[in-house]
């Protein structure tokens, strides 16, 4: 008796667990919960995170030119670039922007990329302008006469005359806008012309001191967005990290420049490689269609299970419900950014999740046919079906894993939901089903029991 | 078992489907989408009526953007395919589409992919395909590591790979037809679909083969004449299970195809076909092939 009692307790615990996370999913979803506004912040902080193709927005891919950065500093500069652009994007009030660095490994073709996702911004021109406005500040020094000049011909075999010219005069230094602490607008006391005064951070101060020390009597060129705006001659070492740009600015232009420099000067030059915008209505339609497909797919699967496998089918349908609540709460808690492909992965995982149940039930049926009692057949069915379950899940999991490693964000969304589905289903379809099914010992071995545990069109 | 008895019919059916798919691949070819080759895709919806396609064609030709393809979509929309566009060109295209502001429109989506991003994606796709294939072959090798008689282990593995090719080639054939008549293009999701089919259908074949070998081991004295009977018997034991596991996946895929987002329609259709023929091949192709190989061996 106590054994049965334990089983009942276990089943109740699993049910409570399922109900608990189901409640969490419900409470944290503004579209389902009417009292969402009054919920605790824990619930409010866990809505589903929708990808750009579902929420609408812009997806931009930039290439960063790292040719001027030593190899071991590339990742640092890329991180600095990301921070600057993130700051910039945040200033414009985009909610939950994602700015990611993609390293230049073998797979991505050696290019260092920056991926910017802007939910809700569907005007690409505005979006790119927002990011492009950030000025690129560089300090260059005169090229020494004996240093050889290397010129790479362009793709068409021609040599860019402009590049040749600029290269001959100045060479890049490590000092860029990355080391800028703050820029301020000043007016020359005599001419009333606007000047921009720069204050470097610690590293920048050291670099600037070194540059000025080595180049006394020579020119140091200050480049803004690839163009020299000021080429002062160094008179003495400047150890305090202060520099003044005295170009021929008009006051409004200078003020804007100071603002942009303070928002963050780009440490690396970037160029736009690809852009994508999805309108909000298109995204909404995709969400509605995705939810509809999920619900209908789920209903089809559970009706098949119950009609074909009867009592065990009902139990499998119950564990499928628990599977779905676990998956949905994981999407919220991890959090997983859901895309149309991700929803597809989730829907497929619903189909795969019951695979294990089908394997187990078919085994149970075989064991019943060979004359075992219902209880024996259930335990034999579970242990014998395990190898088939393991095999069919391994191949799916391998595929999901490889797709996740090598995929772009679109593929990753699919691979992640599918892979999670495979793992969670191993738990729900085996453990949960077993706990519930073991409760049905009492049905005994009568005709009714055999009927309930067989399947298909047999009696 | 009638499947084994009429194995030649089923094998011929599979062969002709594969040949047809390959023919359609050769004749129609695969249209590569902008994901891989780079380019721009602009989708607009007009507020009231959309202008005639011919008007837009001539207006867009004058922009000298190379070949620009205009396709109607929905009731009042167009999809415009061109080379990748920068901001100025994009603005110009939108202005041209409104025929100088006369026709009000909203842009529902815009996607411009530079050639280098396309190249990167192609490289990634190729690596993923190679890795998944390798992993699947390793998985097959692992599943058939034990020596068995009367057909040796590597032949099981070889047949498993043939059925996998069958499962992948037929959806590709279907896709070329879709691509020819409905303008479906080879994109990232196409590659994902192919790889997922590999993962989904390999296990089915392996499970049936496992059952065959289990039954062979239980037989103490295998007289070679009853090999086909054992295979037939194993099929009978496992085909319901095989169909049921696939059926649940096909049910959800059909729901995804019928009701799901537009962007995953072809994806769901490809997977459904792959799933269907994956199950078909593990029952009607793999085991008959096994018997056929055994018969050849005997001669």
- CB under 8 Å to A412, separation ≥6 — which residues? A403, A404
B15 alpha carbon, distance to own chain's centre: 17
CA distance B181 to chain A (A): 24
CA distance A355 to A393: 9
pLDDT of residue A157: 57
Interface test with A, best of B254, B255, B269, B278 (most A CBs within 10 A): B255
pLDDT of residue A330: 93
pLDDT of residue B42: 87
Question: Could you give the angle at the alpha carbon of A24 between the alpha carbons of A19 and A25, nearest 5°?
Answer: 95
Q: Which residue of A has its CA nearest to B248?
A: A351
Q: Does B263 touch chain A (CB under 8 A)?
A: yes
Interface test with A, best of B92, B252, B258 (most A CBs within 10 A): B252
pLDDT of residue A202: 85
* CB of A351 closer than 8 Å to CB of B248: yes
Q: How confident is the model at residue A16 (pLDDT cuts 50, 70, 90)?
A: very high
* CB of B132 closer than 8 Å to CB of B195: yes
Q: Which residue of A has its CA nearest to B203?
A: A392
pLDDT of residue A346: 94
Between the CA atoms of A22, A26, A28 and A32, what dihedral angle is there, to the nearest 10 degrees?
160
A2-50+279-453 is a CATH 1.20.1640.10 domain = yes
Q: Does B223 touch chain A (CB under 8 A)?
A: no
Q: What is the pLDDT of residues A415-446, one digit of tens each?
A: 999 999 999 998 888 888 888 888 876 666 66
* CB of A126 closer than 8 Å to CB of A58: no
Residue with the larger pLDDT of the pair A370 and A406: A370
In the predicted model, is pLDDT for residue B40 greater than 80? yes
Q: Does B167 touch chain A (CB under 8 A)?
A: no
Distance from first CA to last CA of chain A, Å, rounded? 32
Residues of B in contact with A108 (CB under 8 A): 120, 124
Q: What is the pLDDT of residues B158-186, one digit of tens each?
A: 898 999 999 999 999 999 999 888 888 88
Q: How confident is the model at residue B251 (pLDDT cuts 50, 70, 90)?
A: very high
Selecting from A289, A358, A362 the residue whose C-beta is nearest the C-beta of B261 gives A289
pLDDT of residue B220: 61
Class of domain B39-113: alpha beta
CA distance A455 to B8: 32
* CB of B209 closer than 8 Å to CB of B186: no
In the predicted model, is pLDDT for residue A122 greater than 80? no
* CB of A384 closer than 8 Å to CB of A363: yes
In the predicted model, is pLDDT for residue A93 greater than 80? no
CA distance A286 to chain B (A): 5
User: What six digits make up the tokens of A363?
Assistant: 């085994």
Selecting from B106, B107, B251 the residue whose C-beta is nearest the C-beta of A351 gives B251
Pairing of strands A49-50, A337-338: parallel
For chains A and B, CB pairs below 8 A equal: 222
Q: Hey, are the CB atoms on B84 and A350 less than 8 Å from each other? A: no
Interface test with B, best of A344, A421, A454 (most B CBs within 10 A): A344
Q: Confirm whether pTM is higher than 0.90.
A: no
CA distance A344 to chain B (A): 7
Least confident of A107-116, A350-359, A361-370, B229-238: A107-116
Nearest Cα residue to A172 out of A196, A145, A143, A200: A143
pLDDT of residue B14: 95
Residues of B in contact with A354 (CB under 8 A): 248
Q: What is the pLDDT of residues A169-222, one digit of tens each?
A: 777 788 877 787 778 888 877 777 888 888 888 888 888 888 888 888 888 888
The share of chain A scoring above pLDDT 90, in percent, equals 16
Classified as helix, coil or strand, B32 is strand
CA distance A179 to A199: 9
Nearest Cα residue to A456 out of A275, A306, A354: A306
The structural domains of chain B, with segments of one domain joined by +, span 2-34+116-298, 39-113
Complex ipTM tops 0.90:
no
Q: Does B3 touch chain A (CB under 8 A)?
A: no
The DSSP code for A266 is B
The structural domains of chain A, with segments of one domain joined by +, span 2-50+279-453, 57-174+218-236+249-276
**Which residues partner with A354 through β-bridges?**
none
CA distance A437 to B41: 53
Residues of A in contact with B92 (CB under 8 A): none
pLDDT of residue B35: 84
Q: Does B79 touch chain A (CB under 8 A)?
A: no
Interface test with A, best of B143, B192, B204, B236 (most A CBs within 10 A): B192
In the predicted model, is pLDDT for residue A296 greater than 70? yes
pLDDT of residue B175: 93
In the predicted model, is pLDDT for residue B117 greater than 90? no
Q: Hey, are the CB atoms on B248 and A111 less than 8 Å from each other? A: no
Selecting from A107, A292, A403 the residue whose C-beta is nearest the C-beta of B195 gives A403
Q: How confident is the model at residue A385 (pLDDT cuts 50, 70, 90)?
A: confident
Q: Does B215 touch chain A (CB under 8 A)?
A: no
Class of domain B2-34+116-298: mainly alpha
Average the pLDDT over A45-64 and give the result: 85
Q: How confident is the model at residue A64 (pLDDT cuts 50, 70, 90)?
A: confident
In the predicted model, is pLDDT for residue A145 greater than 70? no
Q: Does B47 touch chain A (CB under 8 A)?
A: no
**CB atoms inside a 10 Å sphere around CB A70:** 9
Q: Does B185 touch chain A (CB under 8 A)?
A: no
In the predicted model, is pLDDT for residue A255 greater than 80? no
CA distance B17 to chain A (A): 26
Helix (H) or strand (E) holding A202: helix A202-214
CA distance B286 to B208: 9
CA distance A326 to A389: 20
Q: Hey, are the CB atoms on A392 and B87 less than 8 Å from each other? A: no
In the predicted model, is pLDDT for residue B222 greater than 70? no
Q: Which long-range contacts (CB under 8 A, 24 or more apart) does A85-93 make?
A: A85/A114, A85/A116, A85/A131, A85/A134, A85/A264, A85/A266, A87/A263, A87/A264, A88/A130, A88/A131, A88/A133, A88/A134, A88/A263, A88/A264, A89/A116, A89/A118, A89/A130, A89/A131, A91/A263, A92/A130
Residue with the larger pLDDT of the pair A34 and A104: A34
CA distance A297 to chain B (A): 4
CA distance A324 to A315: 14
The share of chain B scoring above pLDDT 90, in percent, equals 27
What angle do helix axes A374-406 and B115-143 make, rounded to 10 degrees? 150
In the predicted model, is pLDDT for residue A264 greater than 60? yes
Q: Does B247 touch chain A (CB under 8 A)?
A: yes
Q: Does B146 touch chain A (CB under 8 A)?
A: no
**CB atoms inside a 10 Å sphere around CB A369:** 12
CA distance B132 to B140: 12
In the predicted model, is pLDDT for residue B271 greater than 50? yes
Residue with the larger pLDDT of the pair A260 and B255: B255
Q: How confident is the model at residue A459 (pLDDT cuts 50, 70, 90)?
A: very low
CA distance A148 to chain B (A): 31
Average the pLDDT over A232-237 and give the result: 79
Q: Hey, are the CB atoms on A304 and B251 less than 8 Å from each other? A: yes
pLDDT of residue B129: 87
Residues of B in contact with A284 (CB under 8 A): none
Average the pLDDT over B186-215 and give the result: 87
Q: Which residue of B has its CA nearest to A351?
A: B249
Residue with the larger pLDDT of the pair A68 and A145: A68
CA distance A418 to chain B (A): 10
Residues comprising chain B, all counted: 299
């Amino acid at each position: 008796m106590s054994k049965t009692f334990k089983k009942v307790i276990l089943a109740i615990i699993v049910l409570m667990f399922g109900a608990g996370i189901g409640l969490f999913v419900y409470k944290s979803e503004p579209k389902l919960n009417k009292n969402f506004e009054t919920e605790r912040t824990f619930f409010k902080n866990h809505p589903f995170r929708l990808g750009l193709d579902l929420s609408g927005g812009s997806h931009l891919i930039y290439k960063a030119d790292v040719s001027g950065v030593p190899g071991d500093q590339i990742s640092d500069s890329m991180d600095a670039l990301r921070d600057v652009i993130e700051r910039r994007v945040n200033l414009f009030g985009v909610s939950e922007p994602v700015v990611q660095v993609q390293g230049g490994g073998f797979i991505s073709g050696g290019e260092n990329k920056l991926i910017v996702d802007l939910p809700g911004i569907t005007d690409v021109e505005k979006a790119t302008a927002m990011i492009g406005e950030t000025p690129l500040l560089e300090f260059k020094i005169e090229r020494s006469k004996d240093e050889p000049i290397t010129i790479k011909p362009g793709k068409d075999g021609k040599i860019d005359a402009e590049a040749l010219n600029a290269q001959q005069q100045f060479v890049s230094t490590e000092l860029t806008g990355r080391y800028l602490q703050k820029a301020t607008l000043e007016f020359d006391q005599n001419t009333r012309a606007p000047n921009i005064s720069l204050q470097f951070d610690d590293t920048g101060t050291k670099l600037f001191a070194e540059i000025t020390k080595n180049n006394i009597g020579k020119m140091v060129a200050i480049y803004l967005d690839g163009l020299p705006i000021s080429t002062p001659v160094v008179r003495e070492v400047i150890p305090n990290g202060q520099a003044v740009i005295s170009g021929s600015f008009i006051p409004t232009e200078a003020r804007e420049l100071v603002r942009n420099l303070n928002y963050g000067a780009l440490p690396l030059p970037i160029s736009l490689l690809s852009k994508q915008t999805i309108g909000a209505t298109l995204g909404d339609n995709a969400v509605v269609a995705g939810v509809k497909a999920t619900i209908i797919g789920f209903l089809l699967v559970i009706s098949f299970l119950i009609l074909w496998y009867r009592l065990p089918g009902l139990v499998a349908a119950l564990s499928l419900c628990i599977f779905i609540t676990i998956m949905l709460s994981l999407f919220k808690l991890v959090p997983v950014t859901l895309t149309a492909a991700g929803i597809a992965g989730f829907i497929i995982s619903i189909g795969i999740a019951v695979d294990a149940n089908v394997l187990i039930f078919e085994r149970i049926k075989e064991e019943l046919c060979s004359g075992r009692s219902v209880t024996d057949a259930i335990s034999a069915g579970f242990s014998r079906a395990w190898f088939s379950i393991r095999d069919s899940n391994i191949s799916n999991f391998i595929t999901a894993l490889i797709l996740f490693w090598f995929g772009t964000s679109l593929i990753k969304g699919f691979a992640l939901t599918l892979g999670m589905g495979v793992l969670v289903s191993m738990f729900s379809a085996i453990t949960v089903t077993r706990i519930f099914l073991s409760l049905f010992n009492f049905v005994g071995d009568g005709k009714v029991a055999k009927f309930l545990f067989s399947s298909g069109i047999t009696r | 078992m009638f499947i084994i008895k009429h194995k030649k019919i089923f094998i011929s059916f599979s062969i002709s489907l594969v040949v047809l798919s390959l023919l359609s691949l050769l004749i129609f070819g695969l249209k590569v989408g902008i994901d891989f080759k780079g380019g721009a895709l602009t989708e607009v919806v007009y507020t009231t009526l959309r202008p005639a396609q011919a008007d837009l064609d001539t207006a867009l030709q004058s922009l000298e953007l190379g070949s620009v393809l205009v396709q109607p979509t929905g009731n009042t929309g167009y999809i415009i395919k061109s080379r990748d566009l920068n901001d100025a060109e994009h603005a110009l295209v939108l202005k041209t589409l409104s025929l100088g502001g006369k026709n009000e429109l909203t842009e529902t989506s815009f996607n411009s992919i530079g050639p280098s991003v396309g190249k990167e994606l192609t490289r990634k796709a190729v690596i993923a395909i190679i890795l998944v294939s390798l992993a699947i072959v390793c998985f097959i090798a692992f599943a058939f590591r034990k020596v068995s008689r009367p057909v040796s282990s590597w032949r099981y593995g070889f047949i498993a790979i043939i059925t996998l090719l069958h499962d992948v080639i037929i959806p590709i054939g279907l896709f070329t037809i879709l691509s020819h008549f409905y303008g479906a293009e080879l994109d990232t999701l196409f590659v994902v679909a192919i790889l997922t089919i590999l993962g989904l259908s390999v296990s089915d074949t392996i499970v049936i083969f496992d059952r065959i070998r289990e039954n062979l081991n239980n037989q103490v004295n295998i007289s070679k004449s009853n090999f086909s009977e054992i295979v037939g018997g194993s099929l009978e034991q496992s085909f319901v299970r095989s169909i049921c596991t696939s059926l649940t996946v096909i049910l959800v895929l059909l729901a995804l195809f019928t009701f799901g987002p537009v962007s995953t329609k072809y994806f769901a259709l490809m997977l459904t076909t792959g799933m269907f023929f994956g199950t078909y091949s593990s029952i009607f192709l793999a085991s008959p092939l096994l018997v056929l190989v055994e018969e050849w061996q005997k001669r």
